[in-house]
Amino acid sequence: MSTVVREQDLTALVVGVTLLGSGGGGDTGAFGRMLRRQLGAGELVLRDATDVPDVSVSPIGVVGATSVLMEKLPGGGEFDAAVRAVSRWTGTEVTGLMPLEAGGLNGLTPLIAALDLGLPVVDADLMGRALPRLDQFSWAVAGRPLTPCALSEPSGQVIVVDNVDAAGLERAVRSFVAQTGGWAVLALAPTAVGAATADAVQGSLTRALALGRAHAALDSDTTPSVVAAGLGGRLLGAGRVEEVARHLIADGGAAFGRGSVCVVDAGSRAVIRIETENEYLLALVDGIPVVTTPDLLCVLDRRTLQPIAVDAIRTGDEVVVVALPGPAWWRRPDRLAHVGPQAFGLSCPPQLLEAS
């Protein structure tokens, strides 16, 4: 079933993709404003795959440093250049778009691109949330190639990458963005919509919109337990951030920020420790692991209930810590190995919320 998005839905959609970011995925605010300008008083339809059976869909999004991206936003030509390049290389015209990931700003990127290019958006993505690595795309985990694909950066350079595995593509992307503007648009090969969504998380943008609407119905005076229930999740605690520790680790030549956040619950005085990388990955309560990736850990400002990103949380913040169920696609053991805590070097078995 397709979902219509209008101007009045955009605030909810932005909050929803931010929640699916689990503290990561980049700043959605600027992209939300871009989308609002593009959409105006019009509407955009999130298509179910069955509604557009003849579409050749390209998963599309931004890769690279989101901090640099906020200093130099896309001009719009990057989407067109990447789509045209991958169409030329494969000999198949891109006639639809879908997100690479539903969490964070990449949940909004294909909507902006679709309005620019006049293409439909398919309501599916390759993560169902935000995750940091290309080998964590569902296509890669299912054994499907990510190449050929095209990269387009803000000064106009375009490259096509072919015949490499996910690790090779990760290296190519890192090298390209490091030598150019710090980020690029990535467009994967156009694929028949049935095949594209067979190994994808379906309905992810509709879920983001529903989460955002549920969030909008909450009141800042609402008790933390009601906040968690309203979002369909589990309350881990609510209190003051007592400590934020951050450090860098090297992984294959790239530096990733690792850290931990300690929150003391105002009622029980339990200590909630959250291990972080680009996203919130693992929550422990009084030293016992309770929730891990791929479920979603969301830290909300206690006063405004707005989600707080990993790189924005500070000592002294008053917060509510909520866990939401992650995408069901990842719950199979063979898939879970790619996105569970051990995939991030954390020596803890997955701790998942009960499936609803």
Which pLDDT tens digit goes with each residue over 296-345?
Answer: 999 999 999 999 999 999 999 999 999 999 999 999 999 999 999 999 99
pLDDT of residue 179: 87
pLDDT of residue 316: 98
pTM over 0.85: yes
* Mean pLDDT rounded to a whole number for the chain: 94
Please determine, for residue 75, whether its predicted confidence score (pLDDT) is greater than 80: no
How far is 62 from 143, CA to CA, in rounded Å?
22
Which pLDDT tens digit goes with each residue over 272-294?
Answer: 999 999 999 999 999 999 999 99
How far apart are the two ends of the chain, measured CA to CA in Å?
A: 21
